[in-house]
Amino acid sequence: MYKGITFSASLMCIDWLNVEKQIKELEESLVDYIHYDIIDGNFAPDFTMGSSIVNLVQNKTSIKSDFHLMVDEPSRIFDAFNVPKDSFFTIHQEACRNLYRDLIYIKQKICKVGVALSPATNIDTLEYVIEEVDNVLLMTVSPGYMGQKLVPQVLKKVEQLKKLREDYKLNFKITVDGNVNLENIPKMIDAGSDNLVLGSSGLFRKDRSIKKSIELIKECIDKII
């Protein structure tokens, strides 16, 4: 954590030919979470890692886990992963027939629970479950492929969510995921986000090391906090 902001490194953006080296860099840079994007090719295009890869990586690092399931009816695969109790396990509002049931199951049986919204989904859809969650993840790009541009209207949703948190006197995390880079981070934090999912545009860059990326992100935060 840096000045109240936590960092979650998106594993789907890692250099898969140098996984062990980069995970060590993440540990040395004191990244708070590894963000595991689970994509089924139905709810969102593309596919990412399965349970065998996720479980293997978890066994090789001390960094806490942050699961993001972009999966239709995610309850089908709740038991596929080894999920430590201090993890976040986040599912999409749009992907669940019975969102409340699934959130309560995660909360009672698995770990800390989160709910995610795609860019076009209204904050109002969360009002009946908001008191049950530990994390709300707002997609700032469409779910699926990495490297997309920010949907700027989502920043208004971050502001709305922050106000909702204040009105209800809650303390869930507000996570932003998608195009989280040096240009957008100040706007995201200023709007109210306090957990950054860092991927190909902000952390795993070809033009600089992970250590240097983290240093630049912290400098960016210093300018607004």
Say yes or no to pLDDT of 96 above 80.
yes
Contacts of residue 17, defined as CB under 8 A and 6 or more positions apart, other chains included, come to none
pLDDT tens, residue by residue, 40-61: 888 877 777 888 899 999 999 9
Phi-psi region of 213 (alpha: psi -120 to 50; beta: other; left: phi over 0): alpha
Q: Which residues 6+ apart lie within 8 Å of 25 measured at CB?
A: 209, 210, 211
177 flagged as catalytic: yes
> If you average pLDDT over every residue of the chain, what do you get?
94
SS3 category, 187: helix
Which is the catalytic residue, given 32, 37, 40, 102? 37
Q: Is the pLDDT of residue 146 over 70?
A: no
**Residues 149-161: b if buried by 16+ CB within 10 A, e if exposed:** ebbeebbebbbbb
Catalytic residue among 15, 32, 177, 194, which? 177
pTM attached to this predicted model: 0.95
Q: How confident is the model at residue 110 (pLDDT cuts 50, 70, 90)?
A: very high
Please name the residues in contact with 217: beta carbons below 8 A apart, sequence gap of 6 or more: 7, 182, 185, 196, 198, 202, 203
Q: What is the pLDDT of residues 179-213, one digit of tens each?
A: 999 999 999 999 999 999 999 999 999 999 999 99
Q: What is the pLDDT of residues 61-92, one digit of tens each?
A: 999 999 999 999 999 999 899 899 999 999 99
- Give the pLDDT band of residue 149 (cuts 50, 70, 90): confident
